[in-house]
Structure 1
Amino acid sequence: MNWEWFPTFGCSTSNRRIPHEPVFFGKRPGKAFSSTDQVMETNGTGGYVVKHSGACLCGRVRFEVDGVFESFYLCHCERCRKDTGSAHAANLFSASARLRWLSGEGCIRTFDFNSTGHVRSFCTVCGSALPNVQMDGALLVVPAGSLDTDVPIQPQGHIYCSRKANWDTALEAVPRFEELPEEE
């Protein structure tokens, strides 16, 4: 097993570290990709670069990420729940991928909660979560929902489950609807 260590991604002020191992679901660099998958481009040296694209909700901010994501976690800490207004944040992490802003860079703001390292970047027009670079440029954090291309890995786990919302239990048993439920 290949263990690498990343800090807690700003979810806590503790110094605990979280192990990760990439988990792919049938698509690895070098295999065929469909038009809805991330784009494979030659890098000029005979190899390929995985390219992901994304945007905010209003479309003013657009970006590309060149490279692979090493990990994907769903964080249930209070800060991530406040950031997203949901049960958890869903963030992709990479120590090697590169972020490139295509448009709207002037609409991006970054918030570091009380200088704790809990960092969130967002569009100032629509409020959508956007990628950010943390740990003095060593770690790229990409909100999974900000990508327009398919997410190439499955989440490796739920973290900070001891701090999840009281209503976040047995959600897989809640009825599912393809769209809005029918009115009665």
Structure 2
Amino acid sequence: MNSHKYLLALQNRIIQEDLDGELKNYIKGLEGENYFKMILEEHEVKNFIHDINLNIKSRVQIDFLVVTDTTIFHLEIKHYSGDYSIQDGQLLNDYGNMFYSPFQQIQRANYEISHIISHYNIKRALKSFLIFTNPQFTLKTAKPSNFNILLPTELHKLAYMFKDDYSEENSEIINIFKKENKD
């Protein structure tokens, strides 16, 4: 049993308040990723990879890559709940806590993904999205124009994003990324 499944199995058997903050956030992240994976499967998205670690120039963890006929989608999933705002490129909750910037995380991951695209001469554009999955998440400020963000109320748009007529070719690209995955 992998550690993700193990932690999710424990979730209903432990007292949440006794967990330290980091483990709570990790479990919340797994909940969001599992929820998002179910959405992809519901829309019959075939060519995706989940939880990939790349380490070409720097180590990064990527939640999802979806390969379509024209695009490689890098999808960073956040399962935050509560009211948030974006100020000076940082994500802040209503209590004034600043979170490690998911925007910087996306940029670092894009650098690694772009290196693989270039090295293997993959003919696909790279497009990244920050996706908030928790229905209790609210963004109180405008979305930054330089990043693609999907809010929980916009997840229906996923059904139209992933065109896959060249499934075999797209599958080969997924296999390249699987080969580059570093534990």
**TM-score of the superposition, structure 2-length normalised?**
0.24
- When normalised by structure 1's length, the TM-score is 0.24
More strand by share: 1
More helix by share: 2
